[in-house]
């Protein structure tokens, strides 16, 4: 497989896939601080679709200045409600969130608005110590539209989400970690390396177990506790039909590394 797909606004690097099971997608619109327009989101989803059958762990990142500094204001300025309804962003967000394997956001610099929503839609965030987060839509007379009032509130709680969404203030990586938005803060020059190391650890696990755990955690966001527990039990029982479950437990008893096949 080629190490880079041919896209306009993103770079897709698969050189680590065969050895470590990791694919890196880099937002590549530096002149606009990686502003997230529909075309860029469409390319991300297309890239994920193209690699899904390979069971990869994905690292999604930007550059040192910005993960993504919001949505593309130029695209939105002249838009009417009908334009927003007819835009395929809602479908694209749904497809992004339905990717079956873990996606790790490696965030440096500005992570604002739509960029913040993209990072929150990933499975976890590893942030550089220069990262700045926020939902600044209130500053331009509009509201978050892709999770900035929903995922943000569910993650950090009503008081913190209300404060930052209603004032438009930014907050740093250490505040984000304290609120539970970020899994880990690292020196910004090592953010992608740290995210890849985390991805490599995941890639050594059973691909099917990864999928089922991701499904269960997402269900905790989207269902009641009782429904989530039903799904969790179903997934747990399902693993006992898998070769990987037998291999993992046998390897543990034999004190050797497991050799998973995804079956």
Choose among 197, 194, 231, 196: nearest CA to 211. Answer: 231
In the residue annotation, 43 being an active-site residue is answered as: no
Choose among 185, 136, 135: nearest CA to 156. Answer: 135
Distance CA 253, CA 108 (A): 41
Residue 135 and residue 164 in contact, taking contact as beta carbons nearer than 8 Å: yes
Distance CA 242, CA 107 (A): 35
Per-residue CA distances from 22 to 82, 178, 199, 213, 215 (Å): 39, 28, 6, 18, 20
Q: Residue 182: count other Cβ atoms within 10 Å of its Cβ.
A: 24
In the residue annotation, 109 being an active-site residue is answered as: no
Catalytic residue selected from 114, 115, 134, 248: 114
In the residue annotation, 90 being an active-site residue is answered as: no
Catalytic residue selected from 43, 62, 134, 137: 137
Catalytic residue selected from 62, 105, 117, 131: 117
Radius of gyration over alpha carbons of the chain, in Å?
19
Catalytic residue selected from 71, 105, 176, 195: 71
State residue 172 phi and psi, 5-degree precision: -90, 180
Place of tokens 């469409």: 42
In the residue annotation, 114 being an active-site residue is answered as: yes
Contacts of 12 (CB under 8 A, 6+ apart): 4, 5, 23, 24, 25, 26, 47, 50, 51
Return the active site residues. 71, 114, 117, 137
């Amino acid at each position: 497989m080629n190490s880079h797909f041919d896209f306009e606004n993103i770079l897709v690097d698969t050189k680590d896939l065969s050895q470590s099971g990791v694919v890196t997608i880099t937002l590549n619109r530096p002149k606009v601080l990686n502003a997230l327009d529909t075309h860029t989101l469409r390319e991300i989803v297309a890239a994920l679709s193209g690699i899904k059958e390979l069971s990869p762990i994905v690292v999604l990142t930007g550059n040192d200045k910005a993960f993504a500094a919001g949505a593309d204001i130029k695209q939105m300025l002249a838009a009417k409600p009908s334009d927003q309804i007819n835009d395929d962003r809602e479908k694209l967000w749904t497809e992004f969130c339905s990717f079956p394997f873990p996606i790790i956001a490696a965030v440096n610099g500005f992570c604002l608005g739509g960029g913040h929503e993209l990072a929150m839609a990933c499975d976890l965030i590893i942030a550089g110590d220069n990262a700045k987060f926020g939902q600044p839509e209130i500053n331009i007379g509009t509201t978050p539209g892709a999770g900035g009032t929903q995922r943000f509130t569910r993650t950090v709680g009503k008081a913190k989400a209300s404060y930052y969404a209603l004032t438009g203030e930014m907050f740093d990586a250490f505040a984000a970690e304290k609120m539970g938005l970020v899994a880990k803060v690292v020196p910004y020059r090592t953010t992608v390396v740290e995210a890849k190391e985390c991805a490599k650890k995941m890639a050594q696990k059973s691909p099917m177990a990864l999928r089922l755990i991701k499904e269960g955690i997402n269900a905790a966001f989207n269902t009641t506790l009782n429904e989530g527990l039903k799904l969790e039990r179903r997934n747990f029982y399902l693993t006992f039909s898998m070769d990987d479950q037998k291999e993992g437990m046998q390897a543990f008893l034999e004190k050797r590394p497991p050799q998973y096949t995804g079956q």
